[in-house]
Amino acid sequence: MDELRLTFHRATAGQPLPLPLSDESVQAGFPSPASDYFAADLDLNDLLIRHKEATFYVRIAGDSMTDAGILDGDLAIVDKAATASDGDFVIACINGEFTIKQFRLAPGGEKGRLVAWNNRYPSIEVCAYDDFRIWGVVTHVIHPLKKRKPHERG
């Protein structure tokens, strides 16, 4: 298995986290005229967390999922109450080791495989004798676009 390390943190969504939401969309193509108008507040807890008691943050360490946009240092939001479907990204425990991979169900619905999104790592075929369980479904991944300098905080 790859050198992936995960750090788990309980999601604390008890307090609202309202942030101003612009009423205008941001164009990814040609720029649109600027607007200073903001609509109602957006609460990131409402947007990102569906099952408060069953949601955890997981810090990703490793590069087996880079082609899926899941990078070393990212924060994954994981819902343990969600049921994994074919093609979902999951936190799985296989033979006592945690990993984040894409879950692909085997034909016939028995076990399946865990797919890495980096050609340097093979998929993990889940066999009948493996101790395997899906710990939770990854619902969102948060990663910075600008890295902090080592002396910066928060």
List the catalytic residues. 64, 101
| Pair type for strands 38-43 and 5-10 | unpaired
Considering only CA atoms, which of 18, 3, 147, 140 is closest in space to residue 69? 140
Residue type, position 126, single letter:
V
C-alpha distances out from residue 60 to 98, 111, 143, Å: 11, 24, 10
- The burial class, CB within 10 Å (0-12 / 13-18 / 19+), for 148 is exposed
